[in-house]
Amino acid sequence: MTQLPAFRTIEESGIRFGVYMDHFNKRLRVDHYVGDPYLVIQTTEELAKETNSEKIIIKGKWEDYKIFLEKGYRNEAIIDGYFLGSDGYFFCKYFEPDRASMGHLQVEEDIISSVQHLKRSSQVIMPPADYKIMKVSEKEAEMLSDLYREVFQIYPTPLHDSDYVKKTMEEGTIYYAFLYNHEIISAASAEVNHRFRNAELTDCATKKEHRKFGLMKILLKKLEEDLFQQQIFCSYSIARSLSFGMNAVLHQLGYHYRGRLVKNCYIFDKLEDMNVWVKDLSTYQAAENS
């Protein structure tokens, strides 16, 4: 079973930040920091060595861009408006050479190129009446875990565990799903960061036999509507770089490609590169009515 990342708050020498120690994916992730970026980098790298982590991801701001380059980091992706309207930069550093290289670079580039030639359209066709869309509550957590258990044998977070799903709901994650014959057959979520007014659309899964109806596009639009009502305008998603279908859905919904996270996490049986897509939901209503 996927191991839940441990979280530690570092507060010393005028710096303060939280770090996710993701042992399953052999990486550390810092989503926000306060204080001297040099000291934040030094402290995070010391922790990476202690935990045998292969990769560090620090989400930084434009004003610290040169400092991260100076310290050997590379900017792999950008999220427009991540920090209350200011852009967020994924600064990454590797401690294992093989982890730093893309194994399917040309294929991934071809997929992005093909996707970006598709016509953008947020229009959806509703599936047959037997498919019922719903906002998932804690009482459906077990059904939701059943779906993720069937679709993903290995996944970056422990969604196979219904208790973990309930915990994410308590922390503000929103789930929408389609029911068919009284079971959840497709679902997606939005992990909401209320502090910085952003949300990640994630945990997208549909059972194979139900993928012909475009259910995921409908679910993502429902999540966008929910986020817009909460005045969460920075919406982003991280999709498998080898998945034409998921990248195509995001492009068609008006998301913009903003980079690729190299060997970012385990999905199925291997580390996969992940494409970052971003959308400004502040114009969502106008776009829908145009």
Q: What is the DSSP string of 44-96?
A: HHHHHHHTT-SEEEEEE-GGGHHHHHHTT-EEEEEEEEEETTEEEEEEEEESS
Task: Tell me which of 77, 100, 123 is where a domain ends.
Answer: 100
Q: What pLDDT does 7 receive?
A: 92
Q: What pLDDT does 2 receive?
A: 55
* pLDDT exceeds cutoff 90 at 290: no
Question: Does 28 lie in the same domain as 12?
Answer: yes
Q: What pLDDT does 158 receive?
A: 84
Question: Does 209 lie in the same domain as 227?
Answer: yes
SS3 157: coil
Task: Tell me which of 100, 131, 161 is where a domain ends.
Answer: 100
Over residues 239-249, the mean pLDDT reads 96
Question: Does 231 lie in the same domain as 89?
Answer: no
CATH classification of the domain holding 13 = 3.40.630.30
Question: Does 239 lie in the same domain as 226?
Answer: yes
Over residues 259-286, the mean pLDDT reads 89
Does some domain include residue 1? no
The CA dihedral of 100, 261, 28, 151, to the nearest 10 degrees, is -110
Question: Does 180 lie in the same domain as 270?
Answer: yes
Over residues 190-198, the mean pLDDT reads 96
Question: Does 78 lie in the same domain as 95?
Answer: yes
* pLDDT exceeds cutoff 60 at 260: yes
Question: Does 279 lie in the same domain as 193?
Answer: yes
Give the whole-number percent of the chain exceeding pLDDT 70.
96
* pLDDT exceeds cutoff 80 at 179: yes
Helical (H) or strand (E) element with 178:
strand 174-180
C-alpha to C-alpha distance for 179 and 139, rounded to whole angstroms: 14
Question: Does 187 lie in the same domain as 88?
Answer: no
Question: Does 257 lie in the same domain as 145?
Answer: yes
Pairing status of strand 55-60 against strand 27-34: parallel
Question: Does 165 lie in the same domain as 85?
Answer: no
Question: Does 94 lie in the same domain as 32?
Answer: yes
Q: What pLDDT does 283 receive?
A: 81
Does some domain include residue 207? yes
What are the Cα distances from residue 260, in Å, to 9, 29, 118, 241? 27, 16, 20, 8
**Per-residue pLDDT tens digits for 99-108:** 999 889 999 9
* pLDDT exceeds cutoff 70 at 267: yes
Per the CB < 8 A criterion, the answer to whether 152 and 267 are in contact is: yes
Helical (H) or strand (E) element with 262:
strand 256-267
Q: Which domain holds residue 83?
A: 6-100
CA 139 to chain centre: 25
Task: Tell me which of 52, 69, 100 is where a domain ends.
Answer: 100
Per the CB < 8 A criterion, the answer to whether 281 and 122 are in contact is: no
* pLDDT exceeds cutoff 50 at 235: yes
Q: What pLDDT does 103 receive?
A: 83
Q: For the chain, what is the domain count?
A: 2
**Per-residue pLDDT tens digits for 55-79:** 999 999 999 999 999 999 999 999 9
Q: How confident is the model at residue 287 (pLDDT cuts 50, 70, 90)?
A: very low
Question: Does 157 lie in the same domain as 221?
Answer: yes
Over residues 112-118, the mean pLDDT reads 97
DSSP assignments along 122-139, one per residue: -------TT-EEEE--GG
